[in-house]
Amino acid sequence: MRMEMKIMGKFKDLTGLKFGKLTVIEQAGHDKYNKILWKCKCDCGKETITHGRDLVNEHCKSCGCLLNSNRKEEGRFKGLSKTRIYTIWKGMNQRCNNPNCEAYSYYGAKGIDICDEWKGTQGFFNFLAWSLENGYEKDLTIDRMDGNKGYSPSNCRWADWSTQRRNQNRTVAVNQYGTWNLKQPLPEPYRESEE
């Protein structure tokens, strides 16, 4: 619901229009600079009064609950940053996106990427939900079933070391390690998660 700024110069009835989560109920007088105020009802049920300009410019999209929920989300995100799943998610991001990361040459540089669903803050929550729904356990690691494909729900699973080692062996074999002895520990860049 974007409108041109210029219409705000003159009176424009905003009653009934919706901006973000706010539906304009009625005009609610003027502020001390004689700017028109509008009473709005938020999707969450609360009422709030705001300037038409802020509605039209989308500066004000809720009664404040949107901001609060974003803040809550951020807080939750920070709170989870000490968890093992977060460390794994972070490591995945580093390997795929940070050229300064040691393992980047085996991942990002080779086109191994993270699906959009798992990118960014919301992506972490999606990854967390997927993990919990798909057998995440503390002693399991994230495993890409097809080593040539990136991180996504369809190509990943939580696997124990021996499964992952067997799987990685196939990948490793075609990369640089020749025939890999399964009894040897994996070379560092191939460890997909750190405890």
Binding site for Zn ion (CB under 5 A): 42, 44, 46, 62-63, 65
- What whole-number distance in Å separates Cα of residue 180 and Cα of residue 174? 10
What is the SS3 string spanning 93-142? HHHHHCCCCHHHHHCHHHCCCECHHHCHHHHHHHHHHHHHHCCCCCCCEE
Q: CB of 3: closest distance to Zn ion in angstroms?
A: 22
With respect to Zn ion, which residue has the nearer C-beta, 46 or 119? 46
Q: CB of 38: closest distance to Zn ion in angstroms?
A: 15
In the sheet that 47-51 helps form, which strands lie side by side, from edge to edge? 18-19, 22-30, 36-42, 47-51
Strands 18-19 and 22-30: antiparallel
Q: CB of 55: closest distance to Zn ion in angstroms?
A: 14
In this structure, what DSSP letter does residue 188 have?
G
Q: CB of 65: closest distance to Zn ion in angstroms?
A: 3
Q: CB of 186: closest distance to Zn ion in angstroms?
A: 50
Q: Do residues 56 and 5 make contact, with C-beta atoms less than 8 angstroms apart?
A: yes
**DSSP letter string over 148-165?**
TS-B-TTTEEEE-HHHHH
With respect to Zn ion, which residue has the nearer C-beta, 21 or 149? 21
With respect to Zn ion, which residue has the nearer C-beta, 58 or 116? 58
Q: CB of 120: closest distance to Zn ion in angstroms?
A: 24
With respect to Zn ion, which residue has the nearer C-beta, 68 or 122? 68
Residue 87 φ then ψ, to 5°: -60, -40
With respect to Zn ion, which residue has the nearer C-beta, 50 or 126? 50
With respect to Zn ion, which residue has the nearer C-beta, 64 or 111? 64
